[in-house]
Amino acid sequence: MKFDKNQQQTALALFFVALFSASLLALVNNITKEPIAQAERQALHQALAQVLPQHHNDALEDVFLLPLADKSNQQVFPAKDKQGKTLAFAWQQIAPDGYSGTIKILMGVNIRGEVVAIRITKHLETPGLGDAITKNQQWLNSFSHKTTSNTRWAVKKDGGDFDQFTGATITPRAVVQAVHEGLLLFQQYQQSMLKLSQKIKTTG
């Protein structure tokens, strides 16, 4: 197939437009990548301060990888006192079964196996319904001091201790289950967490 002169010029123009667009996108990505990474890091730092007890190290800097039985690694953020003694750990739990998709939960647990606090770091839940998992502070606070043994880990509709939201039971149910699984993970790997934490040179 032969192209006439006008078709060749059009094709060439489209090529340069596409090349310019790709170059512009790459430039914008390079310019914004670092600020976005810094913003995400700052948000994580603030969330860690909310889910961990008062501590004297930089939990974000002292992060370590915990090897799990399924061959994956879990990022764990330790909280330590002035003497370097570990007080608690924080890590991210994934609830894959939210109403609108995956829910990411940052949870803090002290060395006694009690939930310090949780924060939702990412979700796609419906505004005005499922997004109460981020806006209902009383509900978030209801996880504090909970353990595997002193709590019925289900929403009240299922015979548990946690409230559900009007018209949005699936979302809190997913969060409750994920936090419970996080506590079970802590029970399984508590000694490994403590050993790895003590190997980390504490940063203040």
Q: Collapsing DSSP states into helix, strand and coil, what is residue 199?
A: helix
> SS in 3 state form for 159-176?
CCCECCECCECHHHHHHH
Average pLDDT over residues 92-108: 92
Give percent above pLDDT 70 in the chain.
Answer: 85
Yes or no: say if 139 and 68 are a contact pair by the CB < 8 Å rule.
no
CA dihedral 42, 199, 88, 177 (to 10 degrees): 80
Average pLDDT over residues 164-168: 82
pLDDT reading at 33 higher than 60: no
Confidence at residue 27, expressed as pLDDT on a 0 to 100 scale: 67
pLDDT reading at 130 higher than 70: no
pLDDT in tens, 49-87: 999 999 999 999 999 999 999 999 999 999 999 999 999
Average pLDDT over residues 171-197: 97
25-34, 93-102, 194-203: least confident range: 25-34
Q: Collapsing DSSP states into helix, strand and coil, what is residue 83?
A: coil
DSSP code at position 125: P
Give the side-chain half-sphere CA count within 13 A for 188: 10
The b-or-e profile of 131-152 (16+ CB within 10 A means b, else e) is bbbbeeeebbebbeebbeeebe
Confidence at residue 114, expressed as pLDDT on a 0 to 100 scale: 98
Q: Please state the domain extents for the chain.
A: 52-199
Give the side-chain half-sphere CA count within 13 A for 46: 8
Confidence at residue 10, expressed as pLDDT on a 0 to 100 scale: 74
Yes or no: say if 62 and 88 are a contact pair by the CB < 8 Å rule.
no
